[in-house]
Structure 1
């Protein structure tokens, strides 16, 4: 038996599944508290968050909470592993493209501005001292890693507290912990995460996950128009513009959700140039082209329709 709860938060679907039904209520409470704490520390969309306050700090060393310090460390590690394809200094570029104050990406301005990311090397993090230094004017955005990291942390916390097997899905970021149900966790990958009783609108597949995490990054969930241009939230940090439309969806399985999401996001950013890197990192991946063709690498299983 499993028990599940599903709700909306952070402008996406949140799903919690447990192998022990008695763990559902305490598990949901733990997940809700974890997400609230991350939001207070890491949100770019609330003026009172630690991250927003850091953006107004003026470029000096600024004390940060252990939670934000860990979130920043995760983001900087992702930037290092991807040679800057996943870069937390894209906040200014997102603001310039009217993705500020509007997490659904429905806002617009007359002319899109181009603001390349200053680069993750400009951020200095001293975790031992609990402080960080970000150059004045550099805005951080942790959207590329914070959801996946939250899913990983919450799944582990719920299992530790309840002993139950756990699946946490926040949008396209899925983390599992503890004993899996018989046959493993069945996860549907698709362009835009939707309730399981809703028919997918694009190419989709169902895969089995037994440990670690699975993440789907794509250009269909958060899109908007500006000055006649179709934009999305996955930016190429080097240009400050949305990644070229090569892959509409990339799904990756890895030892953790944050690692899966790091690879899936970087693959979207790299476009056609992702293939050598994907083969080098040796993780299962499913790539969907703009016209809906499905390509796989790294031992991703054969398609099983939802």
Structure 2
């Protein structure tokens, strides 16, 4: 039986929540008169079908009503806040993409890059609490999901990501108990792993959007008595839908009717990517400022 699956997340979260409690002031139940259901429909970035999927998922939640509503409220709150930060990454990439790639490949040494791509597991949930004000039951969920992501190979679940850049990043992401989450940029001979670097650069570019999380491509359906195909929206693939497991497998450990934490795992990996992007942006700008300072000093001495 696979370990760290979604059923484990459900049980572990409930245990931690009951024993540790939550911050009542952070609940979102009072946001709209209709509670969580109205709040979901009030999120303008969710398409109608995706919002309906969120509402339907509420009915299958295994948690008490107050815990369930707090989880869904803060789940949407976190996405909303993260979407507001996307222009920062888009602007940086537009202004510095070429110079950044050159700096990564030749300006920065491998050890500098290796230090950038380290994130302790506890740092993920600390950023959720401190940067986004998530202290309720959803913080307990994310803390548990972080552990699930760290042990993702043991779950035997399929890849969570959508789109090439996110998929490659998920597959390149590794967890080491001593160093936390990391990317293996340094090869055994001490040289830079340019393949992993390119995966990261593509992922960093995607942080600026246009979507917080990519959707699956539309499905094709064949029209009867016609060779034409029509596109059909794949709302199950909506990155913003928490959703339910759609297919039952009698040999699968995870129940088909239970909640899926796929979207939460994707958010965790996105938080990790943003943390590294912030570190890289800071190091790059510092290096650029230092180089400009040295160039100016050289010009003054020459004159």
TM-score band, normalised by shorter chain: under 0.3
More helix by share: 2
Q: Higher relative CO (CA 8 A, sep ≥ 6), structure 1 or 2?
A: 2
Larger Rg: 2
Taking structure 1 as the reference length, the TM-score comes to 0.25
